[in-house]
Amino acid sequence: MSGLALRQIEPEILDQLPETDPRAVASRRDLKRVNAIMAQARITASLLRANLVKPPRRILEIGAGDGTFMLKVAERLAPDWRDIELVLVDRLHLVSDTSFAAFGALGWKVRTVQADVFAYVDENADQCFDAVTANLFLHHFNDGELCRLFAGLSQIAPVFVATEPLRGSLPLLSAGMLWAIGANDVTRHDAAVSVRAGFAGEELSALWPQEPPFELQERRRGLFTQTFVARRGEAPGA
Ligand SMILES: C[S@@+](CC[C@H](N)C(=O)[O-])C[C@H]1O[C@@H](n2cnc3c(N)ncnc32)[C@H](O)[C@@H]1O
């Protein structure tokens, strides 16, 4: 894993482009296909099902982007989980009316919050969620920032599920081949940066606070994804 032994965090182009820049719009479209190739929605839905003792009432997604990733998760869960209140936090407001309507049709009530995640978590420590999710988001932050974020998240929900880029040779090679699906220069650049900033082993577990006690599960799923689950209390069915 030469050159990949340690996380390297570099700026991503998409984070620096204006919201409506055509390259940014195209890259967000690419991201949907990347999420599909990585099977991120399927993985998140199955981790939520496996780790929630009963159907949740309130879910928070941090770094939710345009909400289309969580919509795919909701489509998988909605047959069993209805009347969910979903809060989508992102520093940009990207969720379209079409997505709001699609969540509504599934019986999920969505609220978007445009905020920096650190400020949101600090200011909403008293908010109770049943679960918090993050997809292709944590790798933006260094270990110190993640420690601070995790300390806050451990106070606001009993379950945290993250699906992040796996840092490894195959994911890096595959990022370099995204031209094959027509991905633009922004997506191709940011995909490689994301893999180098991604996670392996038990790196996320090491950053989760020791108190209150949580059970941690971290592992690779599929070829490209590192999953992390922190769950307070007993396992479902235990
Ligand atoms: C790679 S995108 C992933 C979006 C979504 N989770 C998905 O899978 O489609 C990362 C998102 O994190 C958001 N973001 C980055 N830094 C943030 C911060 N400090 N606070 C809130 N959102 C942030 C960006 O605006 C972007 O929408």
**Average pLDDT over every residue of 89-110:** 97
In one letter, which amino acid is 119? Answer: A
Q: What is the pLDDT of residue 233?
A: 77
C-alpha distance from residue 10 to each of 70, 78, 141, 191, 217 (Å): 26, 37, 10, 11, 27
Is the torsion defined by CA of 56, 149, 167, 177 positive or negative?
Answer: positive
Q: Between vectors from CA 42 to CA 112 and to CA 157, what angle results, nearest 5°?
A: 50
State the distance from the centre of ligand 1 to the C-alpha of 236, rounded, in angstroms. Answer: 30
Whether 1 has a pLDDT exceeding 50, the answer reads no
**Is there an atom of ligand 1 within 6 Å of 35 CB?**
yes
The mean predicted confidence, pLDDT, of the chain is 95
Q: Using a 6 Å cutoff on CB, does residue 140 contact ligand 1?
A: yes
Cβ of 63 less than 6 Å from ligand 1: yes
pLDDT at 2: 53
pLDDT over threshold 90, residue 206: yes
If you search the block for the tokens 């981790």, which residue do you land on? 47
- What domains appear along the chain, each with residue ranges and CATH number? 14-232 (3.40.50.150)
pLDDT digits (tens, 9 = 90+) for 5-31: 999 999 999 999 999 999 999 999 999
Does 68 have pLDDT greater than 90? yes
Residue 234 pLDDT level (bands cut at 50, 70, 90): low
* pLDDT confidence of residue 238: 44
58: pLDDT strictly greater than 60: yes
